[in-house]
Structures are given as structure tokens and as C-alpha cells.
């Protein structure tokens, strides 16, 4: 597993690579085969709720490595992990050494019990496992040099900032307009500044900080828009628009098969006033009702009763390159599709090879005038500002 991770570029430091070689992952996956426990991509020990939704798991090794590299852990640090599985806490314990302190916290009593048992069996009795809602952190064990969150957070609760050491950092999979990125947040006076972000996907945070995404059904449960933190102004109109002819616009912007373009998604989510993810069942795709470019939720711009979502078409016979296009439905479909395609072109021209988005997290009561120029997304406790470097960088 470690050799595979090294080949795939999961490690940027020898310290993180060394702890993956040292901690026996199979001891934290007692219900899995050893083969499954040692696969770079495999999420193990999935626990589901009554609706079949995964509520807990031991995350995939590549993602754990990515976030541990983001955290830049050093010997002697005090670390809080929110969302427990045992294995990641053991990796952290190895990285902070005997002089460090690790607290791992979970909202699910069964997970707390399993983490405790596995940590003891693997030889990490010093890791403290706590039952509680991560929303409140673990004040009695703070302040923390690092808070590493391993459930999809919708907001940054005040407790995390209060319990963070002056030069501490929070590594957190934060959902912004339905898009999840693992951000590294450092304190800067009264707000936090992101020093980098990586694509990730986690089970949703439960408890008081549970996320605020809602489904707007367009055609029963076959086609829906998943929208974060707001309700569309004309949900019935959006459903009716699906019966209107589909407008199609191609952007002329191509990507290679393996090129990542997550930053474009963040760009679109920042530029559109109303943004969501189009999700569709297989039957809706088979019948041609919708043709999204991804099964993970097509990035969609919404304007009243009109919506436009992204799709792709291959531009080589081997299907190694694709062009971005837009499909739109509704009374203003042509205009919205053109606007969307233009945003893709501007991303391609000005931001594709640039430094990407700059993100800051401010207290909810901060006056808008003090925030960087860009999109400000209101959360319960904070205002998340996303801005982009001005002008062309290419």
C-alpha cells in the first residue's frame, strides 16, 4: 500500500510516509479482509443509517495522507481529531510523538468504543477518545496546535477557533455551495485565512453543525437540484422547465482525460448568484431526460425558472480529451447557457494555470466592507469569502 501511495504521489514528506509504514491498518479494520485494509483507495468499516447513507468509515489512505501533509504535524503538538476511526488518530500519534497529545472525538458511541478498542490493541493507549458533538470541540483538552476535521463540515463553529492555539491551524473538509474541499485555515487576527485546499469527500457532519443542503425535486426523485443554504425562488418553474426543449452551447474549452479541473467548479460556484448540483437517477439519464457530465452532481447555475448544467463530449477517438458544454432548460435557457459557457472560457483564459481561489473565514457579524472583494457565502457562525486574482495570469 505504501509503495502504491508513493507511486501515486500521496506523500510530500518522508515523515508521513514513515508512519503509514509503521501503523498496522488492519488492526483498525477488524471487519475487513487484510487486502481491503491495505488498498490505497479503499474506504473501510462503513457504517450506514436506516436510509442506507454512510455515517461513518475509516477513510481512504490517500486522503488521510493528503490531510496529514496539509496539517504539517511536528513532534510535541497537541492535536484534536474530529470524527474518529482510530487509524488516523494512530498516524497522528506517531507524528506528534511521545511529547505530543492526541484527542479524537466522535458523536457515535459505537465508533468511540471501536476506536478505543482498536487503539489499545494496536498499542496507542495514550490517545484520548472522547464521545461528543464536534461542534463544541474538546475545551478541557485544548488549546490545540492542530484541529483535523474528518467529517464534511458546513461551517466553522466558534469552539474550534477558541480552542486553537495562537499559531494553530484547522484542516477541515468544508462545504462551500455544495462543493467540498479540505482547507488549511490559519489564524490572522480576527479571521482565518486558507493557505491551500484539496479536493475531498467525507461523510456529512451530524449534530448541531449538520449541513444545510436541501433537495429541490424537478421530476419526482428522478431529477433533483441539491442546493446549499438557500431555497430556489421558483422551484415549480424549474420542474416545468425540464419539459421545455434543451438548449445546447459548447465552450470550445478542452481538458485532457487526467487533468483535474476542480478549481473551475469553485470558480463557477463563486461567479454564479445561484448555484447547485444536478443529481439524476440512472433512469433519467437512460431516457435522455438529462445528460450531466458527471454522476457526482453536475454543476448547475440557476436563474429563476431557468437552469443550466455542465456536460462534456469527447474530442478524440480514444476519449482522452473532452470539451465542456452546457445544457439549459427554461424560459431564459439560451442566455444562461451562453453565460455559463463564457464563465468556462474566462476560467480557461485567466485562472486555469493560476494560483486558484483565495478563501477567508470571518465571524458572521463582520461588516461586508472589511472582507476581500469577491463572493461572500453566509453560514451560521461565519462568512466565507472566496476571491480570485484579478486579470489574466496566462
**DSSP state, 354?**
S
As a whole number of angstroms, the distance between CA 12 and CA 70 comes to 10
Cell readout for 86 is: 482510530
For residue 364, the 8-state DSSP code is T
Residue nearest to ligand SAM (CB): 85
Is residue 173 near ligand SAM by the rule CB under 6 A?
no
Cβ 80 to ligand SAM, closest distance in Å? 11
Query: Among 94, 135, 145, 348, which residue sits at the site for ligand SAM (rule: CB under 6 A)?
Result: 135
Per CB under 6 A, the list member of 71, 105, 184, 308 interacting with ligand SAM is 105
Nearest CA-CA partner of 368 in 348, 390, 353, 383: 383
Q: Which is nearer to ligand SAM, 150 or 216 (CB)?
A: 150
Using CB under 6 A as the binding rule, whether residue 88 contacts ligand SAM is answered as: yes
Cell 487484510 sits at which residue?
34
Q: Is the Cα dihedral 192, 193, 196, 198 positive or negative?
A: positive
If one asks whether residue 58 binds ligand SAM (CB under 6 A), the answer comes out as yes
Determine, following the binding rule CB under 6 A, whether residue 61 of this chain makes contact with ligand SAM.
Answer: no
Would residue 59 show up in a list of annotated catalytic residues for this protein?
yes
Q: How far is the CB of 26 from ligand SAM (least distance, A)?
A: 14
State the catalytic residue, choosing from 57, 59, 84, 385.
Answer: 59
Burial environment of residue 317 by CB neighbours within 10 A (0 to 12, 13 to 18, 19 or more): exposed
Q: Please check whether residue 310 is in contact with residue 298, taking contact to mean a CB–CB distance below 8 angstroms.
A: yes
Q: Give the residue among 67, 62, 69, 87 at the shortest CA–CA distance from 1.
A: 62
Is-contact 325 247, C-beta < 8 A?
Answer: no
**What would the grid cell of residue 208 be?**
448541531
User: Minimum CB separation from ligand SAM for residue 175, in Å?
Assistant: 13
Nearer to ligand SAM, 101 or 216 (CB): 101
CB of 57 or CB of 382, closer to ligand SAM: 57
64 or 270: whose CB is closer to ligand SAM?
A: 64
Please identify, using beta-carbon distances, which residue of 64 and 70 lies nearer to ligand SAM.
Answer: 64
State the DSSP code for 208.
Answer: G
- How does DSSP classify residue 369? G
Which of 101, 103, 194, 206 is close enough to bind ligand SAM by CB under 6 A? 206
CA 17 remoteness from chain centre: 23
Q: Which three cell numbers stand for residue 222?
A: 428522478
Selected from 5, 67, 93, 111, the binder of ligand SAM by CB under 6 A is 111
The residues assigned a catalytic role are 59
Contacts with ligand SAM, residue ranges (CB under 6 A): 55-59, 64, 81-88, 105-108, 111, 133-135, 150-151, 202-203, 205-207, 209
Amino acid at each position: 500500500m505504501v509503495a502504491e501511495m508513493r507511486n501515486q504521489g500521496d506523500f510530500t514528506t518522508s515523515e508521513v510516509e514513515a508512519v503509514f509504514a509503521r501503523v498496522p491498518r488492519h488492526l483498525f479494520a477488524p471487519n475487513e479482509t487484510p487486502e481491503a485494509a491495505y488498498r490505497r483507495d479503499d474506504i473501510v468499516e462503513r457504517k450506514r443509517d436506516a436510509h442506507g447513507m454512510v455515517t461513518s468509515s475509516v477513510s481512504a489512505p490517500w486522503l488521510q495522507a493528503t490531510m496529514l501533509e496539509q496539517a504539517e504535524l511536528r513532534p510535541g503538538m497537541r492535536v484534536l481529531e474530529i470524527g474518529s476511526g482510530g487509524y488516523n488518530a494512530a498516524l497522528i500519534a506517531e507524528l506528534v510523538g511521545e511529547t505530543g497529545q492526541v484527542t479524537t472525538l466522535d458523536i457515535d458511541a459505537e465508533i468511540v468504543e471501536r476506536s478505543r478498542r482498536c487503539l489499545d490493541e494496536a498499542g496507542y493507549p495514550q490517545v484520548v477518545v472522547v464521545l461528543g458533538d464536534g461542534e463544541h470541540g474538546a475545551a478541557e483538552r485544548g488549546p490545540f496546535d492542530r484541529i483535523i476535521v474528518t467529517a464534511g463540515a458546513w461551517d466553522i463553529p466558534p469552539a474550534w477557533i477558541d480552542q486553537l492555539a495562537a499559531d494553530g491551524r484547522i484542516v477541515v473538509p468544508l462545504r462551500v455551495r455544495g462543493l467540498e474541499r479540505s482547507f488549511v485555515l490559519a489564524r490572522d487576527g480576527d479571521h482565518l485565512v486558507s493557505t491551500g485546499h484539496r479536493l475531498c469527500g467525507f461523510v456529512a457532519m451530524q449534530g448541531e453543525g449538520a449541513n444545510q443542503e436541501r433537495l429541490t425535486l424537478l421530476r419526482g426523485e428522478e431529477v433533483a437540484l441539491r442546493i446549499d443554504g438557500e431555497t430556489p425562488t421558483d422551484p415549480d418553474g424549474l420542474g416545468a422547465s425540464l419539459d421545455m426543449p434543451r438548449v445546447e452551447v459548447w465552450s470550445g474549452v478542452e481538458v485532457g482525460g487526467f487533468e483535474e479541473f476542480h478549481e473551475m467548479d469553485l470558480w463557477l460556484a463563486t461567479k454564479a448568484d445561484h448555484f447547485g448540483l444536478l443529481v439524476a437517477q440512472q433512469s433519467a439519464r437512460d431516457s435522455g431526460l438529462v445528460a450531466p457530465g458527471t454522476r457526482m452532481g453536475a454543476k448547475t447555475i440557476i436563474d429563476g425558472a431557468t437552469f443550466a448544467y455542465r456536460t462534456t463530449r469527447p474530442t478524440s477517438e480514444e476519449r482522452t480529451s473532452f470539451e465542456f458544454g452546457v445544457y439549459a432548460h427554461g424560459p431564459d435557457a439560451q442566455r444562461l447557457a451562453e453565460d455559463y459557457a463564457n464563465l468556462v472560457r474566462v476560467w480557461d483564459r485567466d485562472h486555469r494555470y493560476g494560483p486558484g481561489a483565495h478563501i477567508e473565514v470571518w465571524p458572521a457579524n463582520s461588516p461586508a466592507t472589511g472582507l476581500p472583494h469577491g463572493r461572500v457565502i453566509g453560514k451560521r457562525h461565519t462568512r466565507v469569502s472566496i476571491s480570485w486574482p484579478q486579470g489574466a495570469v496566462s
